[in-house]
Each structure stands twice: as structure tokens, then as C-alpha cells.
Amino acid sequence: MPDDTDLHALSDQAMLDVPRIRPVLDKIADKWTIMILTVLCPQPARFNAIKRRLDGITHKSLADALKRLERHGLVTRTVIPTTPIGVVYAITPLGHSLRGPFEALCSWALAHERAMADAAATYDRSRP
């Protein structure tokens, strides 16, 4: 673990980088992005297949998220000339580059879910 001097330097640098970091994080750290990219990581999928895999997402939320992800280069949208017309979404190399950080975040969440739930319960009990 870095010493306090290193932590202060890292914190200071992070604060200087916030104007560049925050807009990027705002595009990938929302409610559905990680889950959508996780669905698309192994193979391309059609809209309804993605929707079925993501329990609770609305049609509009998925459509908006996919447009945003396409706009920022994380997924591609390919129209298939069938009847009716089909659309397939695929993850891009840029999207794939998030796999490592997302896997680390998911592993962290699994490893610490109980500790966070316990902390929340303790906090809630201490409040009137």
C-alpha cells in the first residue's frame, strides 16, 4: 500500500484529472451500461435478446442506452435486411477494453456485498 505522501499525491492528481475523468465515467458508470456490455461481450445480440437477458430494463431505457453506447464507440449497430428488419448489436474493441475493469469491479462487489450490507444495517440501526 502506498504511504501517506503517495496517497496525497495520488489524490491531488486525481482532483486535477476530474474534468477529464468525470465525463468518461458518466458514460460508463450508469445503471445499465456494465450489464449491456456484459451481455454483448461473448457475442453480438439482437435488441430483444438483450432485453430478455436484462431483467427489469424497459424498452426505452435499453434503446437509449444502446444509442449512447453506439455514439461513444462502445457498441456497433448493424441492420440486417430481413423481414421484418433486424438489428444486431456488437461490442467494439473499445468496449472490450472495459472487460478487465468491469470484471475487477464485479469481483469486488461479490467479495464485499455482505460487508456493505452489514455496514448499512449498522448505520440504519444507529439512526433514530
Place of cell 458514460: 27
HSE-up (13 A, CA, CB side) for residue 95: 26
Pick from 125, 128, 53, 127: which is nearest to 89 by CA? Answer: 53
Q: Are 57 and 24 in contact (CB under 8 A)?
A: no
**Cα–Cα dist 2/121, whole Å:** 31
Higher pLDDT, 120 or 8: 120
Q: Residue 25: its pLDDT value, please?
A: 86
**Cα–Cα dist 18/12, whole Å:** 10
- DSSP letters, 107-126, are HHHHHHHHHHHHHHHHHHHH
Three-class DSSP category at 85: coil
Query: pTM of whole model > 0.85?
Result: no
Question: DSSP state, 43?
Answer: S
Q: Could you give the angle at the alpha carbon of 10 between the alpha carbons of 96 and 123, nearest 5°?
A: 85
Per-residue model confidence as pLDDT tens digits over 55-107 = 899 999 999 999 999 999 999 999 999 888 899 999 999 999 998 998 898 89
